[in-house]
Chain A
Amino acid sequence: MSVTMNSGMPKGKPLSLRMGRDDFLMRAFVLAISLYLLLSLAFPLYAMLSKAFSTYRFDLSQIEFQVSDQAGAFSGDTVTAKTLNDKLKSISGDDLATSSDGRLSLVPLFPDFSFRSPVHYKIRGTTAETVYLVGSERHVGTDWLEVDSNTFRRVVLRPVQSIGFSNFTEYFSTPSLFESIENSILISLISTVITVSLAFAFAYALNRSCMRFKGVFRLIAMAPILVPSLLPGIALVYLFGNQGMLKEVMMGESIYGPYGIVIGSVFFTFPHAMIIITTALAISDARLYEAAVSLRASAWKTFWTVTIPGARYGLISAAFVVFNLVITDFGLPKVIGGQFNMLAVDIYKQVIGQQNFEMGAVVSVVLLMPAFIAFFVDRQVQKKQVALLSARSVVFDPKPNRKFDRLCFLYCSLIGIFIVGILGVCQFAALIKFWPYDLTLSLKNYNFDRMDGGGWGAYHNSIELAALTAIFGTLVIFIGAYMVDKTRGFRVGRTFFQLLAMLPMAIPGMVLGLAYIFFFNNPANPLNFLYGTMAILVIVTVTHFYTVSHLTAMTALKQMDNEFESVAASLKQPFYKLFARVTVPVCMPAILDIGIYLFVNAMTTVSAVVFLYSTDTTLASVAVLNMDDAGDIAPAAAMGMMIFYTNALARIIHLIISKGILKKTQAWRSR
């Protein structure tokens, strides 16, 4: 029986909560971190979107002139620039299309102009919105301005902004750009199928066989996470490039292009897929297998009716994650893509190469689509996966089977050789004096200061960035997650925050970086001072990797007893005391995980920061890209391996600190 609203509940305004000191404080925190996410995410994205839909054009009918005679007396008629141009055709239609920074000199409208002439010009706008510059001095509106000939050369018209789809029309009518969509989707699909298949077999071997060295294989499979995505590209160049060690294997095909991108993508997405699928396989219920055996089902049938359905959410989730990683990756196709265009590279080319920010924004919007779709499907699937997890199941315990175990070992060894091989080639390349002519070992490629890209300074900057990101990011993210989980009431604010926190996962790094240019590089923005500093790099990195960290924090917090806050309140103790004394110590493992995740990603990320670094804040990962671009491939490999060793060391330190801190703060875990 359910009691419904019509059973006499008194009408009128429901009682409202009187907020205590804790409530005010916690809401203030939620608002502060929401504001942070608004400024570091929502506003920049909005700036980018509005850029994508903005076009700029000079409107010649907006300005009009009077020209004096040689004596400086005005007698002639007032004439608009448009009338003049219609007669003279000195400015073409293409010249009228411009960007937000466009400036149009008006001199071509006067064929007999000379800057030494005594002729004076009167200028005014025909509308109140007309903007023109005299030098760098801004003039607006319909007041007459009289200038001499010499000054008139420095008069430029500013363009008019209009909102519409014309950028997109232009994009889709440019075949070379449009082609990138097809390329990106195709490459991502192929890479996804290959990676997920390989990772599934690998995870299956780890979970279901009794082969030896499982721990070693797991460790090796995780290694690609520690390097920038473009590093496998460099290794592939050494292996299969024009002067590659194994060039013959390619049978005349070029590694520069789809082959290189797919192989490299498989390398750098492999650990992501493997982690997800391993988790999915690990939670499958052993009782189902016992049932299958008792029903005398064949191993083949059991595989298709028990294993695959049990892991399906993991497989789908892994597929979308890999697809998303590949389609949004920029470093790898930049290094090994050759003439093969991909969406993420297009953004880079449009922005850095052609300074066409509007078109960069348009490509960004296009790139957002598949990323968004993949993101939402993944979220849905993840929810179902959690539901499976909470069911009580019995852990599967594999039994030795010599033939099967040997097969698994062989397979995992092949994958291991591939991964170690790629890293090995990079290290080898870094130590060779001059491939392929002088194979003596030397450290000359580590002399980064003699190359483009920022030298050792870039490496130190990267470590600074990674450390700051880890510290600042962990603080913001964990406190944010705590506040959103524990604040009483305030549902609107909390929902809004959750939404903001989930958003970064759907935003490719390139897109975020470009959005930051639009938002922070705007002189009218009071936050403009951040542009070109280390701070903006920290902010963009924290924001880029916000979602995964936020989810880690939420998972840890959800495992805490919900009534801790109630107890603390009943004991009249402020929430921050509970937070410091109980929440943080109990969640310390998760907090450290967030820290190392941010550190490693800050070391390897290229896409989010490539638009934002300045000469003072060059980064190691970007240096790899730039040195490769400049042809210094060996130093690029050397720097890439420096990132690898740094991350590996960071992981080891993380492990030691974790163990140490856990011993101290988690003593209660042992009985």
Chain B
Amino acid sequence: MRTEAAFEKSAEDGHEKAYLRIDNLWKNFGEFIALKDITMSVMEGEFICFLGPSGCGKTTLLRAIAGLDLQATGTIEQAGKDISNLPPAERDFGIVFQSYALFPNLTIEKNVAFGLENTGLAKPAITARVKELLELVGLPDQGKKYPAQLSGGQQQRIALARAIATSPGLLLLDEPLSALDAKVRVHLRHEVKELQRKLGITTVMVTHDQEEALSMADRIVVMNHGVIEQIGTPTDIYREPETLFVADFIGEMNQIAANYTPADGEEKPIVTIGNKSFVCAGAAGLRAGPVIAAIRPEDIIPHREDVGPLITEPENCLTLRIDEMEFLGSFWRTRLSGAELGEVELIADFSINAVRRLSMETGKQQVIEIPSNRLKVFAAKKGAA
């Protein structure tokens, strides 16, 4: 992966070292291949998210790192030590599950203290550490209660406190927020991230929620069908998706069947939608012919007129009719069409400000600009025209 290589290079330059290294990892369940040649690494103190649809292998990869489900082949190295086939108890990690997995018959204090017992720590030291942890997760006075007496969000914080109690080198989070309701989830997202930053603990989180991944991760590993589609920072992944799957899975994306002409000397790469040609960002190695052009709805810029100083790329401007407007709270979603584009309908998101300023209305004509660096092209899917 290009991005991965680039990152490693920069990481080496910055004297950062890979804390967790996964090499050529394969995992099968009978005939089904769950993980296919996974190679990646996690830097020390980094927050990594495995993101993908259900069944993509992200949880399987996490469980392989924990030693809960052994991979078929491939090596895993943690802190320079080969842990490929070590049992979980001999690895160094703390884990939090979606189900919290709190021991129901033990009080919160006892739950958190569970991992601290028999470690040579004296009773008062354990008590102090438990108190410190409960304060850390913001539940200092719940220690005497049982898990069932706490809310879901509180239980998950206790699970987190229990996982970091022994100060493990690696924190694994398996969809930790998925069982919670939306408000709590957003709140806890922030808290977990804060906590991770404070402790500087290397963290791997599995999630299917892209918002969660984008807001929490230092880097995201996007997975699909057991392979890594892309590794990169949230902005990388969002702004520069390397595959159509990533483009489609993360955020909204107009996907339009188009024709591509690669750059040729001075000529910029061109993509043709209907009868209209646009200058685009281009893609290395992509040959002329049918492609999928992709543009995010929020990247389409509205203008008052098709000439003027605000327009940077006049060749990427056109006038379309507003077919439909839908109010979605913080912005308007519009559907645009025009003779130039043929059958194609574009979805564009405009801010409330812009809609008011340009007095947009259903049925009106509207000038838009598609910035060439935001217009992506991908190889057309096989079988699709």
Q: Which positions in A face B, CB cutoff 8 Å?
A: 1-5, 7-10, 12, 14-23, 488-489, 561, 563-564, 566-574, 577, 581-582, 585-586, 665-669, 671
How many chain B residues have a CB neighbour from A under 8 Å? 51
- Beyond A8-B37, A20-B90, A566-B101, 12 additional pairs, beta carbon < 8 A: A2-B32, A15-B85, A16-B85, A17-B70, A21-B89, A563-B99, A564-B103, A566-B66, A566-B68, A572-B115, A667-B146, A668-B105
Cβ-based interface call for B289 (8 A): no
How long is the Cα–Cα vector from A542 to B146 in the complex, in angstroms? 36
A22 to B87, CA, bound (A): 9
Most B CB contacts (10 A, CB to CB) among A561, A569, A570, A666 go to A570
Q: Are the CB atoms of B87 and A15 closer together than 8 Å? A: no
Q: Is the CB of B33 within 8 A of A5?
A: yes
Question: Which residues of chain B come closer than 8 Å to A569, judged between CB atoms?
Answer: 67-68, 87-89
Contact B33 A585 (CB under 8 A): no
A sample of 27 cross-chain residue pairs with beta-carbon separation below 8 angstroms, ordered by A number, consists of: A3-B32, A3-B33, A3-B36, A3-B226, A4-B31, A4-B32, A4-B33, A15-B71, A17-B85, A17-B87, A18-B85, A19-B87, A21-B89, A22-B89, A561-B97, A563-B95, A564-B101, A568-B114, A569-B88, A569-B89, A570-B94, A572-B166, A573-B114, A582-B105, A585-B105, A668-B106, A669-B104
* Shortest CB distance A221–B (Å): 34
Rounded to whole Å, the gap between the CB of A565 and the closest CB of chain B is: 9
| CB-defined contacts of B106 to chain A, threshold 8 Å | 581-582, 668
Task: Name the one of B26, B87, B97, B168 contacting A10, with C-beta atoms under 8 angstroms.
Answer: B26
**Interface residue? B121 (CB, 8 A):** no
- Given contacts A561-B101, A564-B103, whether A15 and B84 have CB atoms under 8 Å apart is yes
B48 to chain A, nearest CB (A): 18
Which residue of A has the minimal Cβ distance to B90?
A: A20
A15 and B70 contact, Cβ closer than 8 Å, known pairs A566-B95, A570-B95: yes
Q: Within 8 Å of chain A (Cβ to Cβ): is B359?
A: no
Contact B87 A18 (CB under 8 A): yes
Which of B28, B87, B99 contacts A561, CB < 8 Å?
Answer: B99
Residue numbers in A under 8 Å from B33 (CB-CB): 3-5, 7, 9
Q: How far is the CB of B2 from chain A (nearest CB, A)?
A: 21
B86 at the binding interface (Cβ < 8 Å): yes
CA distance A7 to B33 in the complex (A): 8
C-alpha gap A25/B168 in the complex (Å): 25
- Alpha-carbon gap, A14 to B64, bound state (A): 14
Whether A563 pairs with B101 at a CB distance below 8 angstroms is yes
Main SS of chain A's interface residues?
Answer: loop
A160 to chain B, nearest CB (A): 52
Q: Out of A1, A7, A23, name the residue touching B36 (CB < 8 Å).
A: A7
Given A570-B66, A573-B118 in contact, is the A5-B28 Cβ separation under 8 Å? yes
| Contact for A668 among B148, B162, B172, CB less than 8 A | B148
Interface status of B52 (Cβ within 8 A of chain A): no
B166 near A571 (CB under 8 angstroms)? yes
Chain B residues positioned under 8 Å from A568 (CB to CB): 114
Shortest CB-to-CB span from B382 to chain A, Å, is 12
Chain B: CB-nearest residue to A582 = B103
The minimal Cβ–Cβ distance linking B255 to chain A, given in whole angstroms, is 19
**In the complex, B260 has a CB within 8 A of chain A:** no
B350 contacts partner chain A, Cβ-Cβ < 8 Å: no
Q: Which residues of A contact B126 (CB under 8 A)?
A: none
Bound form: Cα–Cα A17–B70 in Å? 7
Contacts of A668 in B (CB 8 A): 104-106, 146-148
Task: Determine how close the nearest CB of chain A comes to the CB of B173; give it in whole angstroms.
Answer: 12
Interface-central residue, A7, A489, A666, by most chain B CB under 10 Å: A7
CB contacts (< 8 Å) of A667 on chain B: these are: 105, 146
Nearest A residue (CB) for B88: A569
Any chain A CB within 8 A of the CB of B209? no
Is B163 in contact with A570, judged by CB distance below 8 angstroms? yes
* Chain B residues closer than 8 Å to A4, beta-carbon distance: 31-33
A567 touches B101 (CB 8 A): yes
Q: Does B148 contact A669, Cβ atoms closer than 8 Å?
A: yes
A607 to B85, CA, bound (A): 51
For B103, the chain A residues whose CB sits under 8 A away are 564, 581-582
Beta-carbon contact of A15 and B88 below 8 Å: no
**Is B87 a contact of A1 with CB atoms below 8 Å?**
no
B378 in the interface, Cβ–Cβ < 8 Å? no
Q: B69-105, CB under 8 A of A: which get 1 and which 0?
A: 0111110000000001111111101110101010111
Q: Hey, which chain B residues are within 8 Å of A14, CB to CB?
A: 72-73
Kindly state the separation between the CA atoms of A10 and B36 in the bound complex, as whole angstroms: 10
- Could you tell me the distance in whole angstroms from the C-beta of A2 to the nearest C-beta in chain B? 6
Query: What is the distance, in angstroms, from B86's C-beta to the closest C-beta of chain A?
Result: 6
Those 9 A-B pairs whose CB atoms lie nearest each other, nearest first: A571-B115, A20-B87, A668-B146, A569-B88, A563-B101, A569-B89, A14-B72, A3-B33, A18-B85
Query: A588 — nearest CB in chain B belongs to which residue?
Result: B105
Q: Do A666 and B89 contact each other (CB < 8 Å), given the known contacts A2-B32, A570-B163, A571-B114? A: no
B203 nearest CB across to chain A (Å):
14
Residues of chain B contacted by A567 (CB below 8 angstroms): 95, 97, 101, 162-163
Residues from chain B with a CB closer than 8 A to the CB of A17 are 70, 85, 87
Task: Tell me which of B74, B87, B146 has the highest count of chain A C-beta atoms within 10 A of its own C-beta.
Answer: B87
A573/B70 contact (C-beta < 8 A), A7-B33, A582-B105, A667-B146 known? no
C-alpha spacing A5/B172, complex, angstroms: 29
Cα A22 to Cα B117 in complex, Å, equals 17
Tell me the bound Cα distance from A570 to B169 in angstroms.
11
A572-B36 CB under 8 A given contacts A564-B101, A585-B105: no
CB distance from B322 to the nearest CB of A (A): 38
Interface string of B5-45 (1 = CB under 8 A from A): 00000000000000000001010100111001100000000
Q: Which of chain A's residues have a CB closer than 8 A to the CB of B162?
A: 567, 571
Nearest Cβ distance between residue B6 and chain A, in whole angstroms?
A: 26
**B149 is an interface residue with CB less than 8 A from chain A:** yes
Residue B225 is within 8 A (CB to CB) of chain A in the complex: yes
B residues less than 8 Å from A2 (CB atoms): 32
Chain B, Cβ-Cβ closest to A5 = B31
| B86, A15: Cβ atoms closer than 8 Å | no
Residues in chain A near residue B163, CB distance under 8 A: 567, 570
Residues from chain B with Cβ under 8 Å of A15 in the complex: 70-74, 84-85
Q: Are A573 and B117 in contact (CB under 8 A)?
A: yes
- Least Cβ–Cβ distance between B371 and chain A, in angstroms: 34
Interface centre among A20, A489, A572 (most CB of B within 10 A): A572
In the complex, residue of chain B having the shortest beta-carbon distance to the beta carbon of A18: B85
Residue of B nearest to A10 (CB): B73
- Out of A3, A563, A666, name the residue touching B97 (CB < 8 Å): A563
Q: How far is the CA of A234 from the CA of B166 in the complex (A)?
A: 67
Contacts of A5 in B (CB 8 A): 28, 31, 33
Rounded to whole Å, the gap between the CB of A1 and the closest CB of chain B is 7
Taking the closest CB of chain B, its distance from the CB of A159, in whole angstroms, is 54
- Chain A residues lying within 8 Å of B71, measured Cβ to Cβ, are 15
Set of chain A residues within 8 Å of B118, measured between Cβ atoms: 573, 577
A3 to B56, CA, bound (A): 11
Chain B min CB distance to A476 (Å): 24
Complex contacts, B226 vs chain A, CB 8 Å: 3
Candidates A3, A488, A666, A669; contact of B225 at CB < 8 Å: A3
In the complex the two chains form, what is the Cα distance from A571 to B74 in whole Å? 25
- B84 to chain A: closest residue by CB: A15
Output the nearest chain A residue to B93 by Cβ-Cβ distance.
A570
CB closest residue in chain B, given A668: B146
Cross-interface CB contact of A671 among B95, B114, B149, cutoff 8 Å: B149
> Bound state CA distance, A567 and B94, in angstroms?
8
**Per-position 1/0 for B141-162, Cβ under 8 A of A:** 0000011110000000000001
> Which B-chain residue is minimally distant from A569 (CB atoms)?
B88
Contact pick for A570, options B31, B85, B119, B168, CB 8 Å: B168
Alpha-carbon distance between A635 and B70 when the two chains are bound, in angstroms = 65
Least CB separation from A669: chain B residue: B148
Interchain CB contact under 8 A, A570 and B88:
yes
Complex-state Cα separation, A669 to B149, whole angstroms:
9
Which chain B residues border A571 with CB–CB below 8 Å?
94, 114-115, 162, 165-166
Query: A4: shortest Cβ distance to chain B, in Å?
Result: 6
